[in-house]
Amino acid sequence: MSVPAFGLGTFRLQGQVVIDSVSTALELGYRAIDTAQIYENEAEVGQAIADSGIPRDELFITSKIWVANFSRDKLIPSLKDSLRKLRTDYLDLTLIHWPSPDNQVPVEEFMAALLEAKQLGLTRRIGVSNFTNDLMHQAIAAVGAEHIATHQIELHPYLQNRKVVEFAQSQGIHITSYMTLAYGEVLKDPVIQQIAEQHRATPAQVTLAWAMQSGYAVIPSSTRRVNLESNLKACALTLGEADMRRIADLERGHRLTSPAGIAPAWD
Q: Is 15 exposed, middle or buried (0-12, 13-18, 19+ CB in 10 A)?
A: exposed
Of the candidates 188, 224, 225, 228, the residue with the CA atom closest to the CA atom of residue 207: 188
Please indicate if the annotation marks 97 as binding a ligand: yes
Runs of H (alpha helix) within 107-161: 107-119, 133-143
Which residues are part of the catalytic machinery? 39
In degrees and rounded to multiples of 5, residue 192 shows phi and psi of: -65, -35
Tell me the C-alpha distance between 92 and 106, whole Å.
25
> Residue 173's closest CA among 145, 153, 152, 154?
145
Nearest to 263 by CA among 67, 106, 127, 79: 67
Burial of 98 (0-12, 13-18, 19+ CB in 10 A): buried
Contact present, 40 and 66 (Cβ < 8 Å): no
What is the SS3 assignment for 65? strand
**Are the CB atoms for 47 and 72 separated by under 8 Å?**
no
Closest CA to 221 of 3, 28, 14, 13: 13
C-beta of residue 11 within 8 angstroms of C-beta of residue 66: no
The CA distance from 96 to 221, in Å, is 20
Q: Which residues are annotated as a binding site for substrate?
A: 97
